[in-house]
Amino acid sequence: MKQENKVKFIKYAVCFGIEAFIAFLVIWSKGFFTSSAAVNIQILADAFFVSGVLMTLFAGMLFVSGEGALIGIGFVLRNVVLAFIPMGRARHELYADYRARKLREAKKQENSSILITGLSFLSIGIILTVIWYVKFYNG
């Protein structure tokens, strides 16, 4: 197996492991093994949906952060800290210079594994919700 494929496999495995752990926590907190089949399908749907949504939102935040949308927040926080440090204002730089430096230093990372596994778990959760609705909903 090539080194590149091995790294990609490890990324997917780690993402899958994190999402499975989140799903397990949801299943465990709701008492999966003490309920009927209908409730168990609801619990599974919730578990997959929650872990999928969390990882998909995390992938979205990584994308937004990587595009430089949060640089302004870092600039403000840096200036607040520098205001309380003696002679900290001597290191002050303009926002345009700060933004250009941060974008130059930023490393573009591929986070598709987080998004793909998140969307996979989310789709499983939606499918389980549809199955529960078709089979067990009495409305």
Per residue in 31-90, pLDDT (tens digit) is 877 778 888 999 999 999 999 999 999 999 998 888 888 888 888 888 888 888 887 677
Based on the number of CB atoms within 10 Å of its own CB, is 92 exposed (0-12), middle (13-18) or buried (19 or more)?
Answer: exposed
AA letter at 75: F
Domain boundaries, given as residue ranges, for the chain: 1-67+112-139, 69-105
d(CA 61, CA 15) in angstroms, rounded, equals 15
- What are the angstrom distances between the C-alpha of 75 and each of 51, 65, 86, 108? 32, 14, 18, 20
d(CA 19, CA 16) in angstroms, rounded, equals 5
d(CA 36, CA 33) in angstroms, rounded, equals 8
CB 35 within 8 A of CB 60: no
pTM for the model: 0.80
Residue 114: left if φ>0, alpha if ψ -120 to 50, beta else—which one?
Answer: alpha
Q: What is the CA radius of gyration of the chain?
A: 22
For residue 139, the model assigns a pLDDT of: 59
For residue 92, the model assigns a pLDDT of: 77
CB 46 within 8 A of CB 125: yes
Name the average pLDDT for the chain.
89
Q: Which of 32, 69, 62, 67 is nearest to 47 (CA)?
A: 32
